[in-house]
Amino acid sequence: MEEGDGETFYAMFALHFFHWRPQEFIMLPLREKAAVVAMIDRRLADMKRRQ
């Protein structure tokens, strides 16, 4: 994964935590993908805060 490749990062996160195939994330409509990204960001912030 190249630095700055956000979509790949979020697809990887969706694979590991939601058990989605990367294509399932990549093929989401833009609004749904934005909502998923926001949820992932919130989960990451919560995980960081708990450390």
Tens-place pLDDT, residues 5-43: 889 999 999 999 899 998 999 999 999 999 999 999 999
pTM of the model: 0.79
The encoded tokens of residue 31 equal 């609004």
pLDDT of residue 1 exceeding 50, the answer is no
Q: Is 21 helix (H, G, I), strand (E, B) or coil?
A: coil
Residue 4: what pLDDT?
61
Helix 6-13 to helix 30-50 angle, to the nearest 10 degrees? 70
Does the pLDDT value for residue 44 go beyond 90?
yes
